Amino acid sequence: MSDYQVTILGSGSALSNIQTFHSAQVLKMNSKRFLIDAGEGVQIRLRQYHQKILAINHIFISHLHGDHCLGLPGLISSLGMMGRTAPLFIHAHADLEKVMGEMIRYFCADSPFDINFVSYNPYHAEEIYSDRTISVTTVPLKHRVPTCGFVFREKNKERHLNRALAESYEVPIAFYKNLKNGEDFVTPDGRVIANDRLTTPPSHAHSFAYISDTAYLEKIVPLIENVDCLYHEATYLSTDDDRIRKTQHSSAAQAATIAKMANVGKLIIGHHSSRYNSYMPFIEEAKAIFPNTFSALDGTRIEF
Amino acid sequence: MSDYQVTILGSGSALSNIQTFHSAQVLKMNSKRFLIDAGEGVQIRLRQYHQKILAINHIFISHLHGDHCLGLPGLISSLGMMGRTAPLFIHAHADLEKVMGEMIRYFCADSPFDINFVSYNPYHAEEIYSDRTISVTTVPLKHRVPTCGFVFREKNKERHLNRALAESYEVPIAFYKNLKNGEDFVTPDGRVIANDRLTTPPSHAHSFAYISDTAYLEKIVPLIENVDCLYHEATYLSTDDDRIRKTQHSSAAQAATIAKMANVGKLIIGHHSSRYNSYMPFIEEAKAIFPNTFSALDGTRIEF
């Protein structure tokens, strides 16, 4: 299994059809797993797709429309029954705790773990999560209610030390950290050993961006630039321009245009309206602009 | 399609496995459709099993454990998007509105129909619904929280009038209603025409009982006596007697014993614990006591 992948748990839009559940994805970045959005039935999909449910400690909710968060109470209730003890963090608009808190407290009264609602300001791009290796920042979007996308980036990685060479130059072990950070080594007699003699470049810092739901919004491009993989909603086809304007969603072509402008590695599109009975025209419309596009069908696992 | 049938939308217990959704059933009694319990994902199952979602006007919730009602917000939200205008009635413990009302109002703010929470007293058997043809009464159960089952009975039907004979005896049309109710007809010259000369017996008044969740409880027997079809939870096998006592659930054998004592037509069992990976031992245990037993697998449609 790849260390960097996203699994689509639900790809449907608000009034989903028979095959698709509502929005939810599990992002795996190295050993970490994050849940992004939690539409109804997310706990069912997590089991169906054999995800490590208890390994998820942080959930990121893009906005408070039912199809992006109504799976939270059931998921939290099941986590309790599964014996979870580690605290759970839910990053969302401040209203989430107000509208769902009482219900969660009622149905999950016996939960043996702490549930922490962490609110973010949906109007400013900001870092809302950071650990030793990964940083998550918000991407304010344009929708009918306050909405944010999320960018997950591995932090700058250290260079790889050639330990045998370092030993042969008698570099003190205390200086290894400096080598990994790119410093040259100066021997006691003043000779400079260039860093790239002793180290090789760090491995790639992976990145993923999740953009849903939003009208076409070019100003997000700098925030998601060069990510390895971008999920961007594509609720409609370009021909449906009336609906696109009215509902503040994007077309497949608009998602692809953003992907191209942001120079991302690959694009995943989903959240197609149930008005359409095939995802093929979406893929065709997007690929004409950004060829490396994939469909977010439920159950799809995409590596990056 | 039979006029009297129940479709199992979800048959799993609290921590369901991959195949089963949480508790929910659609009961069709003649032209009426009722939803009984509404576990998470009920709106998905209603679509998957091609149920007439907008024909459901009354929802009956047995108790406020998450696996029996967490599908309500999503269902109500979708009903709004489907353009429902008819009022919806949710019969449940009074706490339901307290814990779920705010969330439903938030996520379904644009719903173009009225949502009416109708509370029942979970400690007394009482009629909680009645229309021209059907009556629904509660069956207080014994579980960790206040819980009720429900009995759906067609009201006593009218006898079938032999119109040609009635005309030949010159029965006034105004008296037809009396004939259908079983009265004899007395001619103007005092002759008594026995009712069964002019009518044939009414067609069968169908009935269905839903019993979940509960410990073994013999006192429910008179309340569900002679129903055509009984759904009774069977969370465990008899061998699991420790768990049965602790969780206040029933075994398959106990469900079958109740069915036998109540002289029901057929028994459906479900809500099996995810500890077991097959429903076969449940069916075997129940059939040894009550042979006409069926499994409530998701998607099963049982006529009665």
B23: three-class secondary structure by DSSP: coil
* pLDDT of res. A17: 65
**Residue A271 zone, left/alpha/beta (φ > 0; ψ -120 to 50; rest):** left
Count of other CB atoms within 10 angstroms of residue A136: 24
Q: Calculate the alpha carbon distances from A11 to A41, A264, A300 in Å.
A: 12, 21, 10
Instruction: Locate the chain A residue with the closest alpha carbon to B44.
Output: A18
Chains A, B: CB contacts within 8 A come to: 85
Coil, helix or strand at residue A271: coil
Three-state secondary-structure class, residue B93? coil
Q: In Å, how far is A247's CA from the nearest CA of chain B?
A: 13
Chain B residues in contact with chain A using a Cβ-Cβ cutoff of 8 Å: 14-18, 21-22, 40-41, 43-44, 47-48, 64-67, 70-71, 73-74, 77-78, 81-82, 95, 98-100, 102-103, 106-108
Rounded to whole angstroms, how far apart are CA atoms B123 and B146? 8
Q: What are the two backbone dihedrals, phi and then psi, of residue B23, each rounded to the nearest 5 degrees?
A: -55, 130
Query: Residue ranges of chain B with pLDDT lower than 70?
Result: 1, 16-18
**Cβ-based neighbour number of residue A39 at 10 Å:** 26
Q: Considering only CB atoms, which chain B residues are within 8 Å of A44? A: 16, 21, 40-41
Q: Please write the tens of the pLDDT for every residue from B119-167.
A: 999 999 999 999 999 999 999 999 999 999 999 999 988 999 999 999 9
What ipTM describes this predicted complex? 0.85
Known catalytic residues of B are 67
For B283-299, the DSSP string reads HHHHHTT-SSEEE--TT
Residue B150, both tokens: 């429900």
Q: Which pLDDT score, from 0 to 100, does residue B227 have?
A: 98
Q: Return the structure tokens found at A182.
A: 């790119």
User: What's this model's pTM, rounded to 2 decimal places?
Assistant: 0.90
pLDDT, averaged per 10 consecutive residues of chain A (304 residues), comes to 92 78 96 96 94 96 96 94 94 95 88 94 97 97 97 94 94 95 94 95 96 97 98 97 94 98 98 90 98 96 96
Looking at CA atoms only, how far is residue A286 from chain B in angstroms? 28
Helices B280-287 and B252-261, axial angle in degrees (round to 10): 30
Using an 8 Å Cβ cutoff, are A253 and A215 in contact?
A: no
- A79-97 in b/e burial notation, b at 16+ Cβ within 10 A? bbbeebeeebbbbbbeebb
Instruction: Please give, rounded to a whole number of angstroms, the shortest distance from the CA of A65 to a CA of chain B.
Output: 6
Chain A environment of B67 (Cβ under 8 Å)? 74, 77
CA A261/CA A248 separation, integer angstroms: 20
Measured between beta carbons, the chain A residues lying within 8 angstroms of B107 are 64-66, 70, 99
In this complex, which of B41, B65, B106 lies closest to A99 when CB atoms are compared?
A: B106
Name the burial class of residue B175, with classes exposed (0-12), middle (13-18) and buried (19+) by CB atoms within 10 angstroms of its CB: middle
- pLDDT computed for residue B2 by the predictor: 84
Q: What is the largest CA-CA distance in chain A?
A: 75
What string of H, E and C letters represents the secondary structure of B145-186?
CCCEEEEEEECCCCCEECHHHHHHCCCCHHHHHHHHCCCCEE
CA distance A21 to chain B (A): 8
Chain A residues closer than 8 Å to B22 by CB = 74
CB A304 within 8 A of CB A6: yes
Rounded CA gap, A201 and A299, in Å? 35
